[in-house]
């Protein structure tokens, strides 16, 4: 909703198309340590994880009982771990050879995180979404 408001201000136009995931945000990507260059991966296999930091609201309850002050919210952080997988699409072979893996770090979801070689010798690039 925030992206829609930034783009269209007051009214939501009919047929608006906004990407669900921010294409410019940096995500903490960690490749699966057991997968190396030369390994074989299959559809649906986890190739890495992404840490998603969300703001969490907690209530501060240490207020003076006599003054009956309202509890004030404090912000905390809660991490959610998302698994990045080889897409389960028909265009992928059952087993593909890993030819390149990106190092752990912060990347956008559109950056290539792994390159595979299919049975025809063609290069397949994987990103953090499908």
The total number of structural domains that make up the chain: 1
Q: Do the domain assignments include residue 18?
A: no
Nearest-angstrom CA–CA distance, 47 and 67: 55
Q: Do the domain assignments include residue 39?
A: yes
Q: How many helices (H) and strands (E) does the chain have?
A: 1, 8
Q: Do the domain assignments include residue 21?
A: no
Residue 80 belongs to what domain range? 27-126
Question: Which pLDDT score is estimated for 88?
Answer: 87
Question: One digit per residue, pLDDT tens: the chain, 130 residues?
Answer: 666 666 666 777 677 767 767 778 898 999 999 999 999 999 999 999 998 776 554 444 444 445 444 444 445 465 788 999 999 887 778 899 999 999 999 999 999 999 999 989 999 999 998 8
Q: What CATH number does the domain containing 38 carry? A: 2.40.50.100
pTM over 0.85: no
Question: Which pLDDT score is estimated for 63?
Answer: 45
């Amino acid at each position: 909703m925030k992206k829609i408001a930034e783009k269209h201000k007051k009214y939501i136009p009919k047929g608006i198309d906004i990407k669900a995931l921010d294409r410019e945000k940096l995500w903490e990507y960690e490749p699966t340590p057991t997968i190396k260059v030369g390994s074989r991966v299959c559809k649906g296999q986890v190739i890495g994880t992404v840490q998603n930091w969300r703001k969490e609201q907690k209530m501060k309850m240490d207020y003076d009982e006599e003054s009956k002050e309202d509890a004030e919210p404090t912000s905390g952080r809660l991490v959610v771990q998302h698994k990045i997988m080889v897409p389960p699409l028909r265009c992928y072979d059952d087993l593909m050879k890993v030819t390149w893996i990106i190092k752990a770090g912060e990347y956008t979801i559109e950056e290539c995180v792994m390159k595979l070689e299919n049975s025809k010798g063609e290069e397949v690039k994987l990103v953090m979404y499908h």
